[in-house]
C-alpha cells in the first residue's frame, strides 16, 4: 500500500460518519506521532509532545469558532495517547470526543474472527483488506509480504528496516501478513468500524 493509507482511511470514515450525523469535515492532519516507522525513508514522525500541542491548538481553534463539539477521528495506534493528552489539555475537553477507529469493540471482535495472521497492526491483513474495500487501486497485492520475518515472531519495540538478525526485521514496514487480505474481509471490518464510530460519536 502507499504511505498515505491512514489518510485514505480517515477521509473515508469521516465522509461515512458525516452522512450519518450531519457533521462538517476538517482536513486530515497528515503528520503525527509514528516513532515505530521513523527509520523508513519518507516516514516522518512528530514527537508525541509536538503532535499533542498541534491537536490541542486545532481543537481549541474550532471550539473558538463556535463548534458545539469536535470529533477527533484517530486512525493510529501510537497516536492514541497523545490525542488523549491533547483533549485533556484543551480549553473545554467536555466538547471533544476521541473516535478511536481501531479500538472499537465491534472492530476488535470482527478482526479477530476473520483474520488468519498470528499477529498484525500495520499494513497487515486487516488494514490491507480495508484498503481493498475502500480504494483497491491503492493496493499492489503481488508485492505484499508477511513480516517481521523472524521465525520466533516479533518482540516489543520498533520495526527494523535493515537488521536481518532483529526479531522485528521488516524490510517492507508491514507488521502482519497482508498476503491474506481480501476485499470481502475489508467490507466486514468497514461495517464494524462504522457502527463503532456512530456509538463513539453519540
State the pLDDT at residue 37. 84
Q: What is the pLDDT of residues 159-177, one digit of tens each?
A: 899 998 889 999 988 999 9
Total of domains in the chain: 1
Task: Describe the crossing of helices 5-21 and 125-134 by its angle, rounded to 10 degrees.
Answer: 60
N-to-C CA span, the chain: 32
Per-state percent for the chain, helix, strand, coil, to nearest 5: 50, 10, 45
For residues 43-57, average pLDDT: 95
pLDDT above 70 coverage of the chain, percent: 100
Residue 87 has pLDDT above 80, yes or no: yes
Long-range own/partner contacts, residues 152-160 (CB < 8 A, 24 or more apart):
153/118, 153/119, 154/119, 158/35, 158/36, 158/37, 158/38, 158/39, 159/36, 159/37, 159/39, 159/40, 160/39
State the pLDDT at residue 172. 87
pLDDT above 90 coverage of the chain, percent: 78
The pLDDT mean for the chain works out to: 94
8 Å CB contact between 74 and 14: no
Residue 152 has pLDDT above 80, yes or no: no
Grid cell in block for residue 192: 464494524
- Residues forming a β-bridge with 32: 45
Nearest Cα neighbor of 59 from 47, 71, 77, 41 is 71
Q: What is the pLDDT of residues 97-126, one digit of tens each?
A: 999 999 999 999 999 999 999 999 999 999
* CA 201 remoteness from chain centre: 17
**CB count, 10 Å around CB of 166?**
18
State the pLDDT at residue 15. 95
State the pLDDT at residue 36. 83
- At residue 151 the predicted structure's pLDDT band, cuts being 50, 70 and 90, is confident
- At residue 183 the predicted structure's pLDDT band, cuts being 50, 70 and 90, is very high
State the pLDDT at residue 38. 83
Its domain, for residue 78, covers 5-201
State the pLDDT at residue 200. 95
8 Å CB contact between 148 and 169: yes
State the pLDDT at residue 2. 87
Here the CATH number for the domain that contains residue 50 is 3.40.50.10310
pTM for the model stands at 0.91
8 Å CB contact between 182 and 90: no
Residue with cell 477507529: 101
Element (H, E) at 5: helix 5-21
State the pLDDT at residue 22. 85
Q: What is the pLDDT of residues 3-17, one digit of tens each?
A: 889 999 999 999 999
Q: Which residues contact 100 (CB under 8 A, 6 or more apart)?
A: 74, 80, 200
Amino acid at each position: 500500500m502507499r504511505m498515505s493509507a491512514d489518510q485514505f482511511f480517515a477521509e473515508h470514515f469521516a465522509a461515512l460518519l458525516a452522512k450519518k450525523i450531519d457533521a462538517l469535515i476538517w482536513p486530515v492532519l497528515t503528520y503525527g506521532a509514528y516513532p515505530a516507522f521513523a527509520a523508513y525513508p519518507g516516514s516522518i514522525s512528530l514527537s508525541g509532545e509536538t503532535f499533542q500541542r498541534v491537536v490541542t491548538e486545532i481543537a481549541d481553534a474550532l471550539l473558538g469558532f463556535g463548534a458545539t463539539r469536535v470529533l477527533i477521528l484517530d486512525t493510529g495506534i501510537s497516536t492514541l495517547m497523545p490525542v488523549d493528552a491533547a483533549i485533556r489539555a484543551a480549553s473545554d475537553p467536555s466538547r471533544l470526543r476521541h473516535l478511536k477507529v481501531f479500538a472499537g469493540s465491534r472492530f476488535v471482535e470482527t478482526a479477530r474472527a476473520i483474520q488468519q495472521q498470528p499477529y498484525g497492526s500495520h499494513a497487515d491483513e486487516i488494514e490491507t483488506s480495508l484498503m481493498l474495500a475502500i480504494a483497491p487501486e491503492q493496493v499492489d497485492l503481488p508485492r505484499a509480504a508477511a513480516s517481521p520475518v523472524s521465525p520466533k515472531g516479533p518482540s516489543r519495540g520498533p520495526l527494523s528496516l535493515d537488521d536481518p538478525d532483529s526479531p522485528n526485521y521488516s524490510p517492507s514496514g508491514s507488521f502482519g501478513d497482508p498476503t491474506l487480505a481480501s476485499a470481502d474481509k475489508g467490507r466486514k471490518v468497514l461495517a464494524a468500524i462504522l457502527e463503532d464510530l456512530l456509538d463513539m460519536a453519540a
